[in-house]
Structure 1
């Protein structure tokens, strides 16, 4: 049964790849990508958190119902973006601004799903990551439901559980680790640290995988019963630039998120962490993994629409 599912996923990905293309809007809205780039560049200059926010938005969008901008829809308390798995998600205003500017120039042509993917590509380059071409041609989805986000990856999951979730999306163990490298930039709320620091495995202890030299610093930043909205860098060493430091952090016990630390406990993911901690291929492999992520569950033709505004169905 698993082999049948895998064949189906590979077929689905290959079909998406065949219909997506670089430069999809070159004839119908030639300035679309440059408009998105100008918006996210301005956003980054005014808010240094914009790049990780927009990169995370792309991942969260693609992981639920595919890359169809369903996460942007505001249709009440049951909308997808209200799901617990999307806690802290943001960047909607940047996508909305880019969409409005594009609509002024090319009404009804460019999907919100493509804007999300283009924005992710541009912010990766802005923080020193790889420059790559993004495939476009997606249409926007017509479904938004918080119940569909129950299988989003969580920070307290085992590597085996995360591997299973990624496999169901057609992503390999290697791509799980590569995409987790997005934690080279950005922050995490102390909300996600409380169990790991003070109630690990239902005890009053801390996660033993945290380096003893790092544990006091984490507790200082995220004190017990402190403000859980305080944010700390996910890469405490070089968190302001795109590099392979997260893998070295995992090896050395300096991983901030529990899920990242678990990758070094698992026989299938540990060698991949070691490879990227010691190698120099991370940038290009990250770009390739993002392109593949962007093919998940893509809508074409009558299966989707081109929204007039990104937070509401037509």
Structure 2
């Protein structure tokens, strides 16, 4: 949720929610387009479904894109904007270089514009596409609150604030708390790593020169660590080498949590979820019940995707009006 470096690097810009953001959250509604564009959701779903048939990496890419959008300036579609001669945009910041499948949002926007011109925001299209990515991969569905506006600001420099794959539990908690998200949200949303793939560069710290003393992170299960080292050698690593984030990378399930408890997580940030008692309890709960995971994931996705901050409905998702 292969979706290159599907890192929750999931995901984040240290900007406190302002009063204006809270007002916009209150304005979101699950029936926002019922009168103005009733076919919007089904149209977006059709585009996502078609893209998935051509590329199994699409769901992970869309889910990751939505996370990275919401954690910088709110869910305002700023991650979709192209760089200009005078500004390097979010999508060209180091953590976002590996984002892909932007064309899916472009196709969905074009289809929706044909039905309802100047009505549906790119931010809403991305939120709906991320939901569809989960549902069409075997996960739950939910009513996405709608009415987001698209932002006009996108800065590559702000992507340095996205939590990286080497974050510990304290750093992750701080990132989420800055956005009004709890430890429960952190553990539930990390389950998005049930989809996708990561390149070696995002987890090499766990298999080579760990802590500058040990060659392998001792929290990694030994045979799993050996398998990672075989595909990601210390030198001359193949350009696109990497590993799936769990053993069923195109299916939205709770396998991610089962593997965490076995010491078979990919990122340090993932493994950190079992280093604290309350987060480990949630990991165990979700590992034992897919239903409990899905319920928590939906609740946290709605909460996260309601962080808003845009000003307009873009006509083209890649440029401001």
TM-score by length of 1: 0.91
User: Is the CA contact 2:25–2:307 (under 8 Å) kept in the aligned structure 1?
Assistant: no
User: Is the CA contact 2:25–2:308 (under 8 Å) kept in the aligned structure 1?
Assistant: no
Shift, 1:260, TM fit: 0.4
Shift, 1:141, TM fit: 0.3
1:157 to 154, 163, 167: 167
1:221 aligns with 2:231: yes
Once the two structures are superposed, what CA deviation does each residue of 1:163-190 show, in whole Å capped at 9, x if it has no partner?
0000001100011010000111111111
User: Is the CA contact 1:184–1:234 (under 8 Å) kept in the aligned structure 2?
Assistant: yes
Aligned partner of 1:308 in structure 2 is: 315
Shift, 1:75, TM fit: 2.2
TM-score by length of 2: 0.89
User: Is the CA contact 1:159–1:269 (under 8 Å) kept in the aligned structure 2?
Assistant: no
User: Any unmatched runs of 5+ in structure 1?
Assistant: 1-7
1:205 aligns with 2:215: yes
1:67 aligns with 2:78: no
Residue pairs, 1:173-188, within 5 angstroms: 173-188=183-198
1:292 aligns with 2:303: yes
Stretch of structure 1 that moved more, 226-235 or 304-313: 226-235
Shift, 1:243, TM fit: 1.4
Residue pairs, 1:214-293, within 5 angstroms: 214-225=224-235, 226-236=237-247, 238-279=248-289, 280-293=291-304
RMSD: 1.8
Once the two structures are superposed, what CA deviation does each residue of 1:255-286 show, in whole Å capped at 9, x if it has no partner?
11121011112344222212222233001211
What is the alpha-carbon distance in structure 1 between the residues aligned to residue 68 and residue 104 of structure 2? 16
Shift, 1:205, TM fit: 1.0
Q: SS of 1:232's equivalent?
A: strand
Residues 201 and 228 (structure 1), Cα distance of their counterparts in 2 relative to 1, 3 Å cut: farther
What is the alpha-carbon distance in structure 2 between the residues aligned to residue 73 and residue 282 of structure 1? 33
User: Any unmatched runs of 5+ in structure 2?
Assistant: 1-15
Residues 9 and 267 (structure 1), Cα distance of their counterparts in 2 relative to 1, 3 Å cut: farther
Shift, 1:59, TM fit: 0.4
1:189 to 175, 180, 199: 199
Q: SS of 2:222's equivalent?
A: coil
Residues 114 and 136 (structure 1), Cα distance of their counterparts in 2 relative to 1, 3 Å cut: same
User: Is the CA contact 1:190–1:227 (under 8 Å) kept in the aligned structure 2?
Assistant: no
Residue pairs, 1:10-49, within 5 angstroms: 15-49=23-57
What is the alpha-carbon distance in structure 1 between the residues aligned to residue 128 and residue 35 of structure 2? 17
User: Is the CA contact 1:188–1:234 (under 8 Å) kept in the aligned structure 2?
Assistant: yes
Residues 234 and 78 (structure 1), Cα distance of their counterparts in 2 relative to 1, 3 Å cut: same
User: Is the CA contact 1:222–1:228 (under 8 Å) kept in the aligned structure 2?
Assistant: no
Stretch of structure 1 that moved more, 190-199 or 284-293: 190-199
Shift, 1:251, TM fit: 1.0
What is the alpha-carbon distance in structure 1 between the residues aligned to residue 20 and residue 72 of structure 2? 16
Aligned partner of 2:7 in structure 1 is: none
What is the alpha-carbon distance in structure 1 between the residues aligned to residue 20 and residue 293 of structure 2? 26
Paired residues, what number? Answer: 302
User: Is the CA contact 1:189–1:230 (under 8 Å) kept in the aligned structure 2?
Assistant: yes
What is the alpha-carbon distance in structure 1 between the residues aligned to residue 269 and residue 54 of structure 2? 31
Q: 4+ runs of 1 displaced by more than 6 Å?
A: 10-13
1:58 aligns with 2:60: no
What is the alpha-carbon distance in structure 2 between the residues aligned to residue 22 and residue 293 of structure 1? 15
